Chain A
């Protein structure tokens, strides 16, 4: 293929996916749509002092203040579409203009994500003289990021602003890869103040910046050179973080509302698991507990009446009480999470491997928090999948891990779109993305054997079986009435295996002794 401008394919990809997003405007949207409409109404109609106290709707404001300011900005545009959506009393208001505005706002704010994706593509090295555009790492990365299945269905069908937020994350990562650490730190502080879930990856940032930015030099053997500590740089970083937080929380601290805001941000009353269990270790733990309980009752070791009635059939959020195994409290999950990310964080302190080591640590922090965290949403898997795409186009082993994690993670998002009308879309898009990721990455690393180990291939094929069973076979079977939660349980458990496995493999690649030759 000749005469294609270098990088002219990028606008084509971005425009194509944006057109596709427009077609989903009338698709199903979840309660998150009402959540954001409510926040538009709250920030527009009420004074700042009432924002974190307002509870007319059950969907109270539970993102940090910078996001509230963002919603305020959007609400001024919303006024021109349909002013009625900005009335707090209009619960579940969803006129066509409201839907159009909200959908367009997500598509529009995705521009930041598109820009961030472009910056990440620029950080990825292309082989000199590769004529075939389709086979360049930057092209593959662009498709994996822009056309990411999870982001498309969570943002543009289910409805959220993840594209906008991931734009900040990926841009911050790109800045660090380009060695512009202050900009990266600024972007990450803004991100933290937009959605505090990114606290998961804050340790990676903190340790990396401290070790590789504040200490300007390393000793010959790679250990810390204490004399090269630069207080100026530390001050600069601290100043950036402090000023962003001041901008965001300042008004609320001044009004003495900080405890209230924090209680909204960290509602630990919610249960160990979301109504649909995210595919993490606790899903396996819960299942084991259930199996042991059932076995115990069968073998007459336990009294059935003594067991707490656990309803897994749905509803909003509830405490799941364990019957056999010890209960898990938030503190336990916090300890487990910290223990799981400790080796990663220690690794980039004692053996810094540059910006890519930082990226790997970031991934491990994200995955560790996903696997061991309290009340994790399955959508959080995207925090691991998107940055892993960058590593996948550069490193063969990471490509293999990426294929397992992405396919599993994306499939675990299926229960989010449970309406029959959206079934063809989610299946076709999933197949589209999966076929692309497999064939493109295979072509990128062609000639060096298979990317996947046999066991992994078997596991992924099994995923097809699980999908068929849950989407087709089960709804037509007699158990549909008696055990409606079974497909969710099966999906959860099966995917947790893949996610935990990917976590372990990523750890192995980070902790591998430096003597071993790095895979190209």
Chain B
């Protein structure tokens, strides 16, 4: 069948699944006084529409930063402003200053969900389609299957359309950046990635691979010739993009500093919301919180993060191929946020989408014979863990996740360990992350698979 029909069917199915999930509850539904991320986004529309730009990030009488103050970079604020204009034309009550706090209605939910879908349709989905069609190897069928798996990835759908966020925008921009770099358009790639950074500061996780790849490429081209030219072009693109995004705030350096302080709230500490990371897991063994001061915790965490990604970045610097770049990007930390979903009443969509995704990725991958052992380098991996047989590792991991999910829902935690289940989930997530981290390190440092023989088989 023609590619366009297969791809359009994947996209349509993706839209149906997304909208199906969005019919469910959102973060903080019906839970005054603070509600949740949904109310935060609505509040940002209220703030950006009614208040002058200089007050968006400051604590004023009109703008109480304790109630969901803006803590994402300016592009999010501009996006909220655009949405607020649309909201105002439909129903001004949605963005009334102060009076619209905690506003909830079916029509408003429809509007908010629609904004997420529109953003996805404009930014994320085209990036996915173009990336899979032009930058992945293999037959048309393999590419379509990749589009399918990408679009049905449950994590993003559940967070954006369930919990309520706009991660599709920042991830979409980042993906446009990767796409541009893959096609050799380095300046455009940097532009796209800067937009992603200015939308959500979390994209900094991906900044190091981008930086190392582009730097390595420039060095390879020769710092006295074309390399320097490339470097200058990229640097100026980055500077101009940042300047344009921050332009309204640059008139007063105090404003700009306030924005930075909101975006990087080092006062909040490392243990926010028991998100899956090393510190939560380590805290089980060593009570870090009690040993180190808040500042030392931050410095050590920064140092460790840098150390963890250093090997891959060095490798990327020395060998700036696009394939190495893609591998380094996988360092993006994935969070399994089951407790968060439970808080939002999203259990059924979570179960359904995760199961479906697992089933179909396994089915499609095996059907396409995509995962030959040689490609997966599982051999090297298992030299490390020689005690465990190959396939069982995968099933153990799946059963652990499934078991944890069931247990978190069905059982009540013991009273002296009230946060037992979220911490267990965090730790399991971190173990998975560690495992895949080591695995990808092994893959990156061994030879890439022979591309020529792969092409012959297709």
Contact = CB atoms under 8 A, between A and B. Distances in A.
A196 B349 CA distance: 37
A436 B9 contact: yes
Interface stretch (B293-301, B351-359, B398-406): B351-359
Contacts of A431: 8, 12
Contacts of B368: 1
A27 B359 CA distance: 24
A489 B363 CA distance: 46
A312 B356 CA distance: 44
A424 B117 contact: yes
Interface in A426-463: 428-429, 431-432, 435-436, 439-440, 443
Interface in B344-370: 348-349, 352-353, 355-356, 359-360, 363, 367-369
Contacts of A3: 367, 369
A24 B20 contact: yes
A173 to B, nearest CB: 28
Interface in B1-33: 1-2, 5, 8-9, 12-13, 15-17, 19-21, 23-24
Contact of A23 (B110, B349, B367): B349
Interface string A1-36: 111100010001001100110111111000000000
Interface in B27-41: none
A486 interface: no
A439 B4 CA distance: 10
Contact of A12 (B1, B12, B360): B360
B17 A23 contact: yes
Contacts of A23: 16-17, 20-21, 23, 349, 352-353
A28 to B, nearest CB: 9
B347 to A, nearest CB: 11
B265 interface: no
Contacts of B24: 26
Given A1-B367, A3-B367, A26-B24, A20 B16 contact: yes
Chain A interface bracket (under 10, 10 to 19, 20 to 34, 35 or more): 20 to 34
Given A3-B369, A27-B20, A439 B5 contact: yes
A134 interface: yes
A3 B2 CA distance: 22
A478 interface: no
Contact of B141 (A1, A420, A424, A432): A1
Nearest to B19: A424
Nearest to A424: B19
A511 interface: no
B12 A26 contact: no
A80 B9 CA distance: 39
A425 B367 contact: no
B44 to A, nearest CB: 24
A421 interface: yes
Contacts of B13: 428, 432
A15 B352 CA distance: 11
Contacts of A439: 1-2, 5
B106 interface: yes
Main secondary structure of the interface of A (DSSP, over half): helix
Interface string A134-153: 10000000000000000000
A24 B13 CA distance: 13
A287 B105 CA distance: 39
Chain B interface bracket (under 10, 10 to 19, 20 to 34, 35 or more): 20 to 34
Contacts of A443: 1
A20 B17 contact: yes
A99 B211 CA distance: 52
Contacts, number: 75
A420 B17 CA distance: 17
A425 B9 contact: no
Interface string B115-140: 00100000000000000000000000
Contacts of B141: 1
Nearest to B139: A1
A147 B144 CA distance: 19
A421 B110 contact: yes
A23 B21 CA distance: 6
Contact of A428 (B19, B348, B363): B19
A441 to B, nearest CB: 11
Given A2-B369, A26-B24, A19 B12 contact: no
B420 to A, nearest CB: 27
Contacts of A27: 20, 23
B17 A12 contact: no
A295 B5 CA distance: 47
Nearest to A26: B23
A425 B20 contact: yes
B367 A25 contact: no
A432 B352 contact: no
Contacts of B349: 23
A25 B24 CA distance: 9
B363 A12 contact: yes
Nearest to A19: B356
A1 B368 CA distance: 7
A420 B353 CA distance: 24
A194 B367 CA distance: 41
A27 B21 CA distance: 10
A20 B15 CA distance: 12
Contacts of B1: 134, 439-440, 443
Contacts of A22: 348, 352
Nearest to A133: B367
B5 A435 contact: yes
Contact of B15 (A24, A420, A428): A428
A424 B18 CA distance: 10
Contacts of B15: 424, 428
Given A20-B17, A436-B9, 16 more contacts: A1-B141, A2-B369, A8-B367, A20-B20, A22-B352, A23-B20, A23-B23, A24-B20, A26-B23, A425-B20, A428-B16, A431-B8, A435-B5, A435-B9, A436-B5, A439-B5
Interface of B: 1-2, 5, 8-9, 12-13, 15-17, 19-21, 23-24, 106, 110, 117, 141, 348-349, 352-353, 355-356, 359-360, 363, 367-369
Q: Name the 10 nearest CB pairs between A and B, nearest first.
A: A23-B20, A19-B356, A432-B12, A439-B5, A424-B19, A428-B15, A22-B352, A428-B12, A428-B16, A26-B23
20 contacts: A1-B367, A8-B367, A16-B356, A19-B355, A19-B356, A23-B23, A24-B20, A27-B23, A421-B110, A425-B19, A425-B20, A428-B12, A429-B16, A432-B13, A435-B5, A435-B8, A435-B9, A435-B12, A436-B9, A440-B1
